[in-house]
Structures are given as structure tokens and as C-alpha cells.
Chain A
Amino acid sequence: MIFLTVGSALPFDRLVEMVDRAVGDGVVREEVFAQVGAGRYRPLHCEFVDFLARPEYEARFAQASAVVSHAGIGTIATALKAGKPIMVMPRKKVHGELVDDHQALTAERFAALGHVLAFSTRAEFEAGMRRLPGFVPAPRHANAEGVARAIGTLLNQLCPADMGNMQP
């Protein structure tokens, strides 16, 4: 099963429609399960829901052979952590999907690093689908601990031990 998700916040009809039509045209042979958000387009060729509660979302994610989504960092990070191949399409300002084009840069950078496959058009989507079976995402070594340590240093400076509020 391929899990198509547009995230929790915004609709993304262009993506949902592109994938649904590709399923209808026989380009995508694997079954697609879609989380489509508050969009207007209703898929004709795949099972879908508007939103998923966190446990259901995680279950679908775990079952999926691959994920197709908007180029949001939450979904990308989740896929990389789970080692799931992910194909992403950026939301664009010109279509009123976001206030700027940062997702296009995210998609481009993460694709260049080998973490994701990126697409913006139907042709690029089809090319991505052909690459998908052999695509092994490059593991990402995010150093969250480095940021946490820097903040720990600040906390030590701002709040000497004697005035800290101790919590379990």
C-alpha cells in the first residue's frame, strides 16, 4: 500500500488529484490509501479519509511500502526516521497553497541529499514512481542533541541551579 498524505493543516488538491488520476490511468498499480485533508477533490480511484488520528496515521505509515506527500518537514522527518521511501510534491504560493515557496526549496534540498524523491508535475511523478522500487533513502543524521546542548548551556547561564523549579 502507498500512503498518500497531505498533512494535518491544509488541503492539497493538486497532489491528491494527480495521484488519483495516475491510479485511474493504471500508472500506479499498487493500492493507494489517501488522507486528503479539507480539500474539494474527492478521489475516485483510491480509498480515502479526510483526517487520521495520530495512532491511525502511524499505523498507515507503518503498513505503507512508500509515502507520497506534500514537502512538509514533519512528514519527511517521520518517513526518514521510519526508513520509508517518500516522494514529495511542494505546495506552491502561485496556487495559493502556502504563503511562500519554502517547500520547493525543502523538496529540492532533501532530494539533492538523497533523502526523498521530489516531483512537481505528472511527468515527474511518473518518473518518481518508476524509481521508487529501487530507491533507498539516504539516512539522515540530524543532530538534535547539538541544539539541545546549546540550549542547556543557556539554561545554565540564565537560571543557576538554586533557582530552578525541580520537576520529576
Chain B
Amino acid sequence: MSKRPFRFCVGASSGGHMTELAALLAHRSLWPLQPSLFVSSLALGSNSILPGVPSRVIGECDRNQPARAIATLFRSLAVAWRERPDLVVTTGSLPLAIFSLVCRLFGARIVWIDSISQIDRISVSGRLVKPFAYRFFVQWPELAERYPGTIYAGELA
């Protein structure tokens, strides 16, 4: 029997998104299995959050930087092709939306956690991912009421 292990990837852009991912990972002892891949937008201090877990960098971009977004797309393709995650859990933002969607093409499930800084509506990156997400978490109860199909389960900051 050569069933390959379930590949569980976590990722975030640098800054607040990474702070939120770190807050989530602080409770990872509750999980029945642990992440096997860590994806970030920048290389800055990424390994301190998940020591010993392989990490990949896909580059920073926002929606006003199409050239950078394309670079992130190609890096995401390379990582997704090699790593073939079964599940991607991410706190955003756009670089991780691109990565998640590429992984979805290869069959991964996406769990998207929209940032706590999205207060009156879900993020643009979140809206991009939402139709393809397996679960979509928001961090304000009012948002979960306003957007059908989203879940409020707590907050990461």
C-alpha cells in the first residue's frame, strides 16, 4: 500500500497576516496532524513560526502590481507542482490567494481565514478565493451574518 501522506500547507503574507497565522499556529497542538509546508510572501523570519517545517517563498504583490502578481503566480505554480498540498490553510493576502487557487487547480482544498482588519466586508483577495474555498472564515460575527457561506469561530488578533 503506497498511500501518500496527507499534505497540509499553511501560509500568510508578511505583516499582520503572518501575525494572525502565528496566533492560529500557537494552538496547533489541538490538531490531529501538523503542517508539512509553510508558504510566505517574504523570507523574513518565516522559520521562527514553524521551526523544522520546510518553507517556500512566493513573493509579495498587491492588486496594483500586475507584474509582481504574475511572478507570484509562476512561483506558486512551481511550489504547487512540486509539493501538491491536499489542504491549504491561509490568513491571506493576495499572494496567498494566488497560491491557494493554483493549489486548488491541483486538487487541494482551501481554507481561507479573512483578516480581522476586514471589518465591514470581506477582502478583495477573499472574494477571489471564496467560490473555490472549502471553508471561509471571517473574524467578526456581523460579517458571517452578512455573507452566507462564511463562518465565524473566533478571532486571531
Chain B residues positioned under 8 Å from A106 (CB to CB): 116-117, 119
CB B36 to nearest CB in A, in angstroms, measures 6
Are A158's CB and B86's CB within 8 A?
A: yes
CB B142 to nearest CB in A, in angstroms, measures 11
Are A105's CB and B156's CB within 8 A?
A: no
Residue of B nearest to A55 (CB): B45
Are A102's CB and B8's CB within 8 A?
A: no
- With A142-B155, A142-B156 given, is the CB distance from A165 to B33 under 8 Å? yes
A148 at the interface (CB under 8 A from B): yes
Are A147's CB and B135's CB within 8 A?
A: no
Are A105's CB and B120's CB within 8 A?
A: yes
Chain A residues positioned under 8 Å from B113 (CB to CB): 147
A150 at the interface (CB under 8 A from B): yes
B101 at the interface (CB under 8 A from A): no
- With A73-B117, A152-B30 given, is the CB distance from A142 to B48 under 8 Å? no
Are B116's CB and A147's CB within 8 A?
A: no
A156 at the interface (CB under 8 A from B): yes
Residue of A nearest to B155 (CB): A142
Chain A residues positioned under 8 Å from B124 (CB to CB): 99-100
Are B62's CB and A155's CB within 8 A?
A: no
Chain A residues positioned under 8 Å from B117 (CB to CB): 72-73, 102-103, 105-106
A9–B23 Cα gap in the complex (Å)? 20
Are A9's CB and B15's CB within 8 A?
A: yes
A140-168 CB contacts (< 8 Å) to partner B:
140, 142-152, 154-156, 158-159, 161, 163-168
Describe B's contact surface by its main secondary structure.
loop
Describe A's contact surface by its main secondary structure.
helix
Are A158's CB and B20's CB within 8 A?
A: no
A109 at the interface (CB under 8 A from B): yes
A59-95 CB contacts (< 8 Å) to partner B:
72-78
- With A73-B19, A150-B137 given, is the CB distance from A144 to B26 under 8 Å? yes
Chain B residues positioned under 8 Å from A105 (CB to CB): 117, 119-120
Are B6's CB and A73's CB within 8 A?
A: no
Chain B residues positioned under 8 Å from A103 (CB to CB): 117
Residues on A close to B: CB < 8 A? 7-9, 54, 72-78, 99-100, 102-103, 105-106, 109, 140, 142-152, 154-156, 158-159, 161, 163-168
Given A148-B30, A159-B6, A164-B33; 12 other pairs, CB 8 A cutoff:
A72-B16, A73-B115, A76-B157, A99-B64, A105-B120, A142-B23, A144-B24, A145-B154, A147-B155, A152-B30, A165-B6, A165-B36
A-B pairs, 4 with minimum CB distance = A146-B154, A143-B154, A148-B27, A165-B5
Of the A-B pairs whose beta carbons lie under 8 Å apart in the complex, a sample of 15, sorted by A's number, is A75-B16, A109-B119, A142-B116, A144-B27, A145-B30, A147-B24, A149-B30, A150-B151, A150-B153, A151-B89, A155-B32, A155-B87, A159-B33, A161-B32, A163-B3
